[in-house]
Amino acid sequence: MEGEIGNFIRVWASVFASVFYCYAVARIVAKGFIRLVMFFPVVHLFLVLPFTLTSVHLGCPTLFFISWLANFKLLLLAFGNGPLSEPSLSMGRFVILACFPVKVQENQNPSQPKSESRRLNGSPIKEEAHSSPKYYNSGLRKLSYFAREGLILAFLLRLGHWRKHVNPNIFLFCICMYVYIGLDLMLGIVASIGQFLLGIELEIPFNAPYLSTSLKDFWGQRWNRMASDILRSVVFGPIFKYSSRKVGLKWALIQALLATFLVSAMMHELILYYLGRTRPKCGTTLFFLIHGILLVVEAALKKKFNAKWALPQLITGPLIFGFMILTFVWLILPEVLEYEVDARALEEYDALGQFLKDLGIFLKESCYNCFLFFSEVVATYSYNII
């Protein structure tokens, strides 16, 4: 474990150095092809760096943060777009926005503190009528929220050690819950830390996906919003803009949606390749293509029926979330279990627990030895005075 932590530190030292380089390039080289060429070495480095790691819990987040999000942000920056293109960004803010899955809320300037960015021309910015409650918009969660999710996660991990005594279907459901809660907890903590460091309101990465009103609502507004936002900027927007001039709005929308889900599938296949280090079996690609096609069908049906009827959210939420779980268990989870990711994850938690236990013993012994040393010093000093 010590060797893996050392590799992890070296990987992120390389990441920060590369981002400093990109920050300098963006300030010196004008947007366009030349800037893109100068970013290519970093993009390539960010693709291969995570593969120097073998840990599930260290490697997968690193791959998601830099191979996917950071690379896409750099591609946008090459042409003067995206969250890194603000000219007044300081180096520290640039590094945070580039390296971590955080997104500044709309109507805010990432280079300004919270108290300034919430006003426009001297007047407070009005919230839109359809915006979500502040609890779901703010990146800063309450401590009780993280504590609650942490307890659920601990229960699921303990359940993993009792796998032989648990119904297989219940165990598969628990793995799905572990994926959701683990992602929500990790990305939520990152968003909270980022909001504290930046001093501006950030959007939360997950917005209660079990309350989705439609597939569009699930993928676009509730599930992994950082990935959805970057895909919207890098894939959907450019393809829709170009295709709409060639084939019209209807077919441009279909092409852009399917292309977005295809790129998302490719990035998820990269994550599975990291986990298994073997050629993907395309179950993940099929998963995202199915959902992309269903999203197109959903949009067509809504347009045809003019959205005059809709099921209550309390019904659509569990139905959509349940459908996501079923398709995930059908197409993606078998490959994950084949790579024994669940067993490896449990081993890493056990190793972490042993490390913390040894650290506690070491600190306890160190404190006791320090107490004995100072007691001896005080006794000697008192004896000399007498």
Q: What is the pLDDT of residue 355?
A: 76
What pLDDT is recorded for position 339? 86
pLDDT in tens, 1-46: 667 888 999 999 999 999 999 999 999 999 999 999 999 999 999 9
Where residue 73 falls among pLDDT bands split at 50, 70, 90?
Answer: very high
Pairing of strands 123-124, 119-120: antiparallel
- The pLDDT score that the predictor gives to residue 125 is 33
User: Which has more confidence, 314 or 177?
Assistant: 177
User: Average pLDDT in the 207-234 region?
Assistant: 91
Note every long-range contact of 165-170, with CB atoms under 8 Å and residues 24 or more positions apart, other chains counting.
none
Give the span between the Cα atoms of 380 and 386, in whole angstroms: 10
Quote the strand ranges of the chain, DSSP E: 119-120, 123-124
R_g of the chain, CA atoms, integer Å:
24
pLDDT band at 200 (very low <50, low <70, confident <90, very high): confident
Determine which helix (DSSP H) or strand (DSSP E) holds 132, and give its type and residue range: none
According to the model, what pLDDT value does residue 127 have?
36
> Which residue's structure tokens are 């999203």?
295
Per-residue model confidence (pLDDT) at position 23 = 95
Q: Classify 213 as helix, strand or coil.
A: coil
Smallest CA-to-CA distance from 212 within 202, 203, 204, 223 is with 223
Distance CA 33, CA 30 (A): 9
Q: Which pLDDT score, from 0 to 100, does residue 385 have?
A: 66
Residue 38 pLDDT:
95
Q: Please determine, for residue 320, whether its predicted confidence score (pLDDT) is greater than 60.
A: yes
DSSP 264-326: HHHHHHHHHHHHH-S---SHHHHHHHHHHHHHHHHHHHHHHTTT-----HHHHHHHHHHHHHH
CA distance 58 to 13: 14
Q: Which of residues 177 and 310 earns the better pLDDT score?
A: 177
- The predicted-structure confidence for 137-148, as pLDDT tens digits, reads as follows 445 677 888 888
Between 356 and 41, the more confident residue is: 41
Three-class secondary structure of residue 331 per DSSP: helix
Mean pLDDT for 55-73 is 93
Q: Which of 187, 217, 184, 19 is closest to 103 using CA atoms? A: 187
Q: Look at residues 300, 299, 319 and name the one whose alpha carbon lies nearest to residue 213.
A: 319
For residue 262, what are the CA distances in angstroms to 46, 183, 278, 284, 292?
21, 22, 20, 10, 8
Nearest CA-CA partner of 198 in 326, 291, 110, 318: 110
Give me the percent of the chain exceeding a pLDDT of 90: 43
Enumerate the β-bridge partners of residue 123.
120
* Distance from C-alpha of 288 to C-alpha of 301, rounded to nearest angstrom: 20
pLDDT score recorded for residue 382: 67
- Candidates 205, 225, 194, 234; CA nearest to 74 is 234
Q: Is the pLDDT reported for residue 134 higher than 50?
A: no
pLDDT of residue 87: 86
Closest Cα partner for 273 from 264, 286, 262, 284? Answer: 284
Q: In 3D, which of 222, 158, 156, 224 has the Cα closest to residue 190? A: 224
The pLDDT value given to residue 62: 94
Distance, CA of 281 to chain centre = 24
pLDDT-derived band of residue 115, with 50, 70 and 90 as boundaries? very low
Least confident of 3-7, 67-71, 182-186: 3-7
Q: Tens of pLDDT along 266-290? A: 999 999 999 888 887 889 999 999 9
SS3 358: helix
Tokens 């006794």 — which residue? 379
The string of pLDDT tens digits covering residues 228-253 is: 999 999 999 999 999 888 888 888 99
Q: What's the pLDDT score for residue 71?
A: 96
**Arithmetic mean of pLDDT, 69-87:** 92
- Cβ within 8 Å of residue 10, ≥6 positions away: 52
Cα(217)–Cα(324) distance, integer angstroms = 13
- pLDDT at position 196: 86
Q: What is the mean pLDDT of the chain?
A: 84
Question: Do the beta carbons of residue 101 and residue 190 sit within 8 Å?
Answer: yes
* C-alpha closest to that of 232 among 85, 125, 103, 112: 103
Q: What is the pLDDT of residue 317?
A: 87
Residue 61: DSSP 8-state: H
Higher pLDDT, 79 or 115: 79
- Positive or negative, the CA dihedral 206, 195, 102, 331 is negative
- pLDDT over 50 (residue 129): no
Predicted confidence (pLDDT) at residue 120 exceeds the cutoff of 80: no
